[in-house]
Amino acid sequence: MSGINLKRWLFAGVLPMEKGRILPEILAGLTLAAVAIPEVMGYTKIAGTPVITGLYTMLLPMALFALLGSSRHLVVGADSATAAILATSLAGLAATGSAEYVALAGLIALMVGVLVLVASVARLGFMADFLSRTVLVGFLSGVGIQVAMNSLPGMLGLKIAHASGLEKLALLLPLLSTLNLQAAAISLSALFLILGFRGLSRSFPGAIVALGLITFVSWFFDFSNTVAVVGSVPGGLPDLALPDVDWSFALIWQLGPVALAMLVVILAQSAATARAYATKYNETPDEGMDLRALGFANLGAGLTGTFVVNGSPTKSRIVESAGGRTQLSMLITVGIVILVLLFFTEILAYLPEAALSALVFLIGIDLIDLRGLREIRRTRRAEFWVSAITILVVVVAGVGPGIVLAIVLSLIVHTRHGYHPANVLLTPETAETWQVQPLKTRAMAAPDLMVYRFTHSMYYANAELMREEIRDLVTPAPDGLRHFCIDFSCVDDIDFTALQALKKIQEDLAGEGIELLFAHTLDDPSSRSRRQLIHTFGKSIVFSTVDEVLSYIKAGKPPPPAGSAS
């Protein structure tokens, strides 16, 4: 395999590497490990899997993306949104944290990996654009509220039957009188320490220092007799094996919607993060290559007994702020995780669950994007309510219904932009330029000509709007109107319904003695809309420019007689 072909599959996110960059990459990898190790352990509390599975997400999955991806900045690992979707979806299928539960989580990771690989082959990366920023802010903020509320029982040392969001809060309130004061004190200490270190420096690994101190105190005073601790954590590297589940079509069909929901989140979040850093550093990552790497990363997760991984904006920001500029930082992090798994897992046994819950609480709070919500409310009030509705559904109904609603609302927002475009009339400003006029002016471009510009692709959802607007413009017809021109300079495609609508418009105008003409500002033979018009209406009434329409009219061709189509 040639060097060029090899780079299309390996090390695109690492090479080229300058010698002077190696030390900064090592330091960034150390920083990421210090910050992300306690964070991914917190994600296991969200996902409902054993603590060790969080470390596994930073092993083979992170290494596979670092080796196979093209983005030099995107960090792939455990993610709060997909972890929350997982926990909600597996509730009732298996006991949280059990071997069966972990196996189902691994199966979902394999399914997501396959779906992402299919998306890369089918070039479906553009689907990320359909989950609007407005809806994504609302969805992630709702997930943050859910995560924060779900962590409260653990912070207070209370055990509550599986529930989520408001339901868990309702179950918690009657039990407050029986809270474990020592667990609550540990939680408050963890919050105080983490926030205190964060206040000193955002790049300081405050979480691992705080949890390390609390773990030491827990070991020294043997807190295991009075509060819940993580307990025995298996050491060593994970085995490569298929999840131990009942491999059946019924099970895969049942988990299919979960995998699809995670696919949408992965496409949106990973693509948005990779693009942001590529733009910032003037790089051109291969989106298909990154999707392929994400697919293999999730296959690696499923084969090593952990859950779905995703591109992480927060971890990517941590690496960048620490000076990392390539995937070498992530490979350094993988090496550190291997050392932890081989030599230091025994220390984790004394970590109090309350401290881990406090970290999860802060993860949830960080997901609530108040600044983004304020900005949306300031600039687009209607879209703010879309975000607010998404938050409400996630908090009340759960993450599963929330992601479905997020997809539906994103499609509605997208359709709304094309359903009712702001169409205009054109009038000559000078001999060579044209000026737009509102439709209500019914402005004429010439004594016998009206030019109507449609400002969006024509399809079934806006075809009726076009008919209604043209009907209003010519009923009653302005004095002298004999020609009606539709300017297609903004139209790149016309679907079947819109073409049928244009045929009907031609018939209606002909009945009024008005000839329908078409103009396109670019004389581009390859233009799809131009080909569609010529195929349907013939070359004689399809022009390259509005000026050509004027010349055609001045040549004196009579309009069609009333009651007939041209």
pLDDT score of 310: 94
Q: What pLDDT score does 563 carry?
A: 41
pLDDT at 474: 93
Tell me, what's the pLDDT at 366? 87
Helices of type H across 122-203 = 133-155, 166-172, 181-200
pTM of the full structure: 0.76
What is residue 490's three-state secondary structure?
A: coil
Structure confidence at residue 128 (pLDDT): 65
Query: What CA–CA distance (Å, rounded) separates 243 from 260?
Result: 19
In the chain the domains, ranked by start, together with CATH numbers, are: 21-415 (no CATH), 424-554 (3.30.750.24)
Cis peptide before 421 (omega within 30 of 0): no
Pair of tokens at residue 550: 């004027």
- What are the C-alpha distances in Å from 391 to residues 90, 133, 169, 249? 21, 14, 16, 34
Predicted pLDDT at 564: 44
**What's the pLDDT at 231?**
87
Position 566 scores a pLDDT of 43
Measured in whole angstroms, how far is the alpha carbon of residue 142 from the centre of its chain? Answer: 14
How far apart, in whole angstroms, are the C-alpha atoms of residue 462 and residue 441? 22
Chain centre to alpha carbon of residue 405: 14
pLDDT of 521 reads 54
Question: pLDDT means per 10 residues in the chain (566 residues)?
Answer: 56 87 92 89 92 96 96 92 90 90 97 95 73 80 87 88 68 84 95 90 80 93 91 91 94 93 87 81 85 96 96 85 90 96 91 92 88 90 86 82 76 74 89 86 93 91 92 91 92 89 94 91 63 86 88 72 44
Whole-number Å distance between alpha carbons of 74 and 317: 9
Q: Report the phi/psi class of residue 433: left, alpha or beta, with left for phi > 0 and alpha for psi in -120 to 50.
A: beta
Cα–Cα distance between 328 and 315 in angstroms, integer? 14
